[in-house]
Amino acid sequence: MTAPLDVSGQAMEAQPEAVLEGAGGKAIEGRSLGRIAWIRLKRDKAAILGAFIVVFLTLVAIFAERPFGGLIALFGDDPNIPNNDLIDPLTSAPMGAWGGISLEHPFGLEPVNGRDLFARVLSGAQISLLVAFLATLLSVVIGSLMGVLAGFFGGWVDTLISRLMDIFLAFPLLLFAIAIVGALPDEALGLSGNALRIAVIVFIIGFFSWPYIARIVRGQTLSLREREFVDAARSLGAGNGYIIFREMLPNLVAPILVYATLLIPTNILFEAALSFLGVGVSEPQASWGGMLTRAVDYYQIAPHFMIVPGLAIFITVMAFNLLGDGLRDALDPRAR
Amino acid sequence: MRKTNVLALAALGTVLTMGLAACGGTAGGGGNTSSGNNNSSTGGGDASAAKHNDAYTKVVNPSDAKGGTLKFALTDEPDSMDPGNTYYAWNWNFSRLYSRPLMTYTPKPGPEGLKLVPDLAEAPGEVSADGKTWTYKLKKGIKYDDGTEVKATDVKYAIARSNFTDELTDGPKYFAQYLDAGDYKGPYKDKNLDDFKGIETPDDYTVVFKLKAPFSEFDFLVANPQSAPVPQAKDTGVDYEKAVASTGPYKFESYEVGKQLNLVRNPNWDQATDTTRKQLPDRIEVQFKQNAEDIDNRLIAGQIHVDLGGTGLQPAGRAKVVSNPQLKDSTDNPFTPFNRYAMMSTKVAPFDNIDCRKAVQYAIDKTATQAPWGGPLGGDIGTTAMTPTTVGYKPFDLYPNGADHKGDLAKAKEALTACGHPDGFSTNVAVRGDRTKEVQVAEALQASLARVGIKLTIKKYPSGDWSAQYAGKPDFVHKNNLGIMIAGWGSDWPSGFGFLSQIVDGRAIKPSGNYNMMELNDPSINELLDKGIQTADAAQRNEIWAQVDQKVMESAAFTSFVYEKTLIFRPASLTDAYVHSAWGMYDYTWLGVKQ
């Protein structure tokens, strides 16, 4: 069992400690598990910082373009429109200091064509977060279901699902993704262009990372199903479905939430890697990995072009990790 | 042309004006570098008073001082060092250090350099009345580096092996195409050279070429290094590159394939027989597979003398050089033989309608499509199919699109209305995905056409199979609706025919490996090409090439982004350096080094 993520049922029940913690407050009162976790989370400054950044980035991504707003329109240019007037034709680098950073172009300009980096970073954030969230959602749904089934039924079902997980975990995911996306036709499944590419990337990442969730969930389920409340429910005549969905799943929410939060940054990095290797979304749609690839040719004359998307990836991944770690600590005090 | 770096030659007549215009242009451009250099500094204090582009018009650091080691470096490795088996432009220049073709180019900067002069031959070819027989007399007393004399059969053998065998695949096969050789199988399958009827050698000093049809630019063909003699006894097939029998001023000392080539003086070379080469350095060393940015740094530091590929400085090196007036004076900015362009498929809707093609011509922002090539230093904005360094080139612009070529949107809209898509349309643009510059051009095109509602989707294909499987395969083009294809072309010799015949002749459309990607099949163009190549008078011939260019542009299926230029660096230690217009690089057979 993976110890750090072992957010077990016992922990959830650690009422005495929670009560003790609460003792410093005004009055001793019953508190829900969620409330206790929230109190702990609030004390974790790093996690709160991470949460702020995550919320901020998510809002920025949602409101970057119309119809939900127009941050890009407010602060910069269209991400795909070149500004050749602002590029020094002799060096291909943006004119002005620091890669052409100005009020109109707060992050500077792309070398050669002068596209606005602020707009492109925001536009890239949409892609990164969209892919990461959807892929995580997919793997959480599959992973939770498979994990519960394996843990709850045991026997041949467990054997089958566990071997399946081993196979999926052994799969060379990156190579597979490159091969699939690289060989993708322009239109399939009623989708075309970048919509199709995003759908396929989401599917590949989500479909191949469910075993990570499933393993955690299976372990939790194995210990939960031997617990008294399960026996009680069973002796009252509850069926398997009721036990799984009404008794087990609520107790599994915490580890699933923690792991999902930690899976998102992994998926962001995976999407960036695919774009960096040229098999992510295609131009002119901006993506952080794609910008980094371009930047390699110009890092000496326009270092900001590499720093800006690099920082975007770094900050986003770090924020999600801080939040995920904080959540884990809050939901499972034993794991500190 | 199959390889990117194919040799192409620059043009005779027009080069003079164009070359000067170009020099003026870039010199002026140097003034407005935004990087904030005041040109006040460095008046003439530096050791060599040579200025930017000086080697384009004159010999810089002229010197006859012998000795020293001339050092070249190349990012890649050659296809082969065998003069009969290479298709790289730099190697058609470099291989002359150790091989002598029948004809070669005049060793002078500027347009003079495009005139052919006899090299191994005594005089240009004598053509028969019917235009189908070309006769060359060899100079007497020319020896290989082992002291044996060059014979006419060696020339015959060299052409047989380079054009008629399956083993030597890297060079062009023009002789196989034009010589009347029946079904000759090549010297590796058929050891008897007498079976090769395309060339006759009545005596040891006479070579007679028998052609299938009149071909009035044959002298250009024998200026290709494939006509350099190869003794049959010394030929080892593809391995011949390791020990080439030298006729030039240098011979092989050692050659480690993919790593290093060392040349030393050839004592059996006689300056008296050679009007075009010098023999200044004691040694010549070439390092292969060097890092491109490292090459730039070593050039600027003076540790090596020439970037052998002649493709110019990398972005970082370029930025360093243009922002430093002193360094900039050590650079030249010549035209390469390449035109970088887009073709619109006349067989893919809506580009089967000429007005839709015209809409693209007017809507393009050519300043934006020039930027990926490196702005004005990377090329002049193009408006024709032929480049300024092609014989017959005449400047004209059928689709003037604004003052700075930034696009004339009103005219584009008009054309769109005429073609029945007043609000624009959607199509695809095919591009070699592994070529960053071309992808950036596609993006710029996408952005500029979007201004009039033409929506482009960029389709990237690998350059390896680009012509065999993708853009060069009309079936694929039609099936995938590739309306626009981004490509480039450089000719093997600097005439309109050399430049145009493969890309605009309707009969050159092939089911695969097609370069006439627009599938332009205009009988009047085809006829003009035939008429031109059978016209013996050069002036008349060049007039015809200009007419072909005009007709191609009238079809509106071809739009040029830039006539490509490079920014090449000339260290102060290099002597006797000038840019040879035939290659757009320094003349490698002249260079010397300061001791």
Radius of gyration from C-alpha coordinates of chain A: 24
B341 near B487, Cβ under 8 Å?
Answer: yes
Q: What's the pLDDT band for A66 if we cut at 50, 70, 90?
A: low
The pLDDT value recorded for residue B559 is 94
For B515-539, what is the mean pLDDT? 90
The pLDDT value recorded for residue B34 is 33
Q: Which residues contact A103 (CB under 8 A, 6 or more apart)?
A: none
Mean pLDDT of chain A: 81
Calpha distance A170→A112 (Å, rounded): 42
CB pair distance less than 8 Å for B375 and A92: yes
Is pLDDT at A23 greater than 80 in this prediction? no
For B87-104, what is the mean pLDDT? 93
pLDDT, greater one: A69 or B319: B319
pLDDT, greater one: B173 or A185: B173
For B280-306, what is the mean pLDDT? 92
For B32-44, what is the mean pLDDT? 35
Distance from the B391 Cα atom to the nearest Cα atom in chain A, whole angstroms: 29
Q: What's the pLDDT band for A92 if we cut at 50, 70, 90?
A: confident
Calpha distance B64→B167 (Å, rounded): 41
For B260-283, what is the mean pLDDT? 93
pLDDT tens digit sequence for B126-160: 999 888 999 999 999 899 999 999 999 999 999 99
Pick from A133-137, B464-468, B579-583: least confident: B464-468
The pLDDT value recorded for residue B360 is 94
A34-331 maps to CATH 1.10.3720.10: yes
Q: What's the pLDDT band for B492 if we cut at 50, 70, 90?
A: confident
Radius of gyration from C-alpha coordinates of chain B: 24
pLDDT tens digit sequence for B238-263: 899 999 999 999 999 999 988 999 99
Q: Is A80 in CB contact (< 8 Å) with chain B?
A: yes
Residues of chain A found within 8 Å of residue B293, distances taken between Cβ atoms? 300
Residues of chain A found within 8 Å of residue B436, distances taken between Cβ atoms? 294, 297
CB pair distance less than 8 Å for A113 and B371: yes
Q: What's the pLDDT band for B593 if we cut at 50, 70, 90?
A: very high
What are residue B457's phi and psi, to 5 degrees?
Answer: -110, 130
The pLDDT value recorded for residue B475 is 92
Pick from A36-40, B405-409, B544-548: least confident: A36-40
Is pLDDT at B173 greater than 50 in this prediction? yes
The pLDDT value recorded for residue A4 is 45
For A37-57, what is the mean pLDDT? 87
Q: Which residues contact B15 (CB under 8 A, 6 or more apart)?
A: B110, B111, B114, B388, B389, B581
The pLDDT value recorded for residue B97 is 95
Separation in Å, CA B207 to CA A138, A190, B126: 75, 66, 11
What are residue A211's phi and psi, to 5 degrees?
Answer: -60, -30
3-state SS class at A25: coil
Q: Is A82 in CB contact (< 8 Å) with chain B?
A: yes
pLDDT tens digit sequence for A215-274: 989 998 888 888 888 888 888 888 888 888 888 888 888 888 888 988 999 999 988 988
Q: What's the pLDDT band for A76 if we cut at 50, 70, 90?
A: low
Residues of chain A found within 8 Å of residue B433, distances taken between Cβ atoms? 278
In chain A the first and final C-alpha atoms are separated, in Å, by 17
Residues of chain A found within 8 Å of residue B34, distances taken between Cβ atoms? 88, 90, 95
For B446-462, what is the mean pLDDT? 90
pLDDT, greater one: A92 or B366: B366
The pLDDT value recorded for residue A27 is 57
Q: Mutation test of the interface with chain A: which of B34, B321, B435, choosing the one with the most A Cβ atoms within 10 A?
A: B34
The pLDDT value recorded for residue B554 is 93
B97 near B589, Cβ under 8 Å?
Answer: yes
What is the pTM for the complete model shown?
0.78
Residues of chain A found within 8 Å of residue B377, distances taken between Cβ atoms? 89-90
The pLDDT value recorded for residue B546 is 92
Which sequence spans correspond to the domains of chain A?
Answer: 34-331
Residues of chain B found within 8 Å of residue A283, distances taken between Cβ atoms? 439, 442-443, 458
Taking an 8 Å Cβ-Cβ cutoff, which residues of chain B contact chain A?
29-30, 33-35, 293, 315-316, 318-319, 322-323, 365, 367-368, 370-372, 374-377, 433, 436, 439-440, 442-444, 446-447, 450, 457-460, 480
The pLDDT value recorded for residue B146 is 92
For A94-118, what is the mean pLDDT? 82
Which residue do the tokens 């040229």 mark? A278
For residue A297, what is the nearest residue in chain B, using CA coordinates? B315
The region that residue B243 occupies, defined by phi over 0 for left and psi between -120 and 50 for alpha, beta otherwise, is beta
Q: Which amino acid is at B235?
A: D
Q: Is A166 in CB contact (< 8 Å) with chain B?
A: no
The pLDDT value recorded for residue A7 is 46
Q: Which residues contact A87 (CB under 8 A, 6 or more apart)?
A: A93, A94, A95, A109, A111, A112, A113, A114, B371, B375
Is pLDDT at B30 greater than 80 in this prediction? no
The torsion angle over the Cα atoms of residues A298, A300, A303 and A307, rounded to 10 degrees, is 80
- Give residues 191 to 220 of A whose Cβ lies within 8 Å of B: 193
pLDDT tens digit sequence for B414-440: 999 999 999 999 999 999 888 888 999
Is pLDDT at B40 greater than 50 in this prediction? no
Q: What's the pLDDT band for B527 if we cut at 50, 70, 90?
A: very high
Is pLDDT at B331 greater than 70 in this prediction? yes
For B69-84, what is the mean pLDDT? 91
Q: Mutation test of the interface with chain B: which of A81, A87, A91, choosing the one with the most B Cβ atoms within 10 A?
A: A91
Give the CATH number of domain B335-565; options: 1.10.3720.10, 2.60.120.10, 3.10.105.10, 3.80.10.10: 3.10.105.10
The pLDDT value recorded for residue A140 is 94
**Orientation angle between helical segments A288-296 and A117-153, nearest 10 degrees:** 130
Give the whole-number percent of chain A exceeding pLDDT 70: 86
The pLDDT value recorded for residue A73 is 65
Q: State the alpha helices, DSSP H only, in B32-118.
A: 54-57, 89-94
pLDDT tens digit sequence for B43-55: 333 445 788 888 8
CB pair distance less than 8 Å for A113 and B443: yes
Calpha distance B131→B218 (Å, rounded): 10
The pLDDT value recorded for residue B459 is 87
Q: What's the pLDDT band for B17 if we cut at 50, 70, 90?
A: very low
Calpha distance B296→B290 (Å, rounded): 10
The pLDDT value recorded for residue B305 is 94
The pLDDT value recorded for residue B348 is 92
Q: Is A10 in CB contact (< 8 Å) with chain B?
A: no
Residue B282: how many other CB atoms lie within 10 Å: 15
Is pLDDT at B33 greater than 50 in this prediction? no
Pick from A179-183, B162-166, B531-535, B573-577: least confident: A179-183
Residues of chain B found within 8 Å of residue A82, distances taken between Cβ atoms? 365, 368, 371, 443-444, 447
pLDDT, greater one: A284 or B507: B507
Mean pLDDT of chain B: 86
Q: Is A89 in CB contact (< 8 Å) with chain B?
A: yes
For residue A294, what is the nearest residue in chain B, using CA coordinates? B436
What CATH class has B82-247?
alpha beta
Q: What's the pLDDT band for A334 if we cut at 50, 70, 90?
A: low
Structure tokens at B98: 């150790």
The pLDDT value recorded for residue A74 is 65
Which sequence spans correspond to the domains of chain B?
Answer: 82-247, 335-565
Burial, A46: exposed, middle or buried (Cβ in 10 Å; 0-12, 13-18, 19+)?
middle
The pLDDT value recorded for residue A26 is 56
Residues of chain A found within 8 Å of residue B444, distances taken between Cβ atoms? 82, 113
Give the whole-number percent of chain B exceeding pLDDT 90: 57
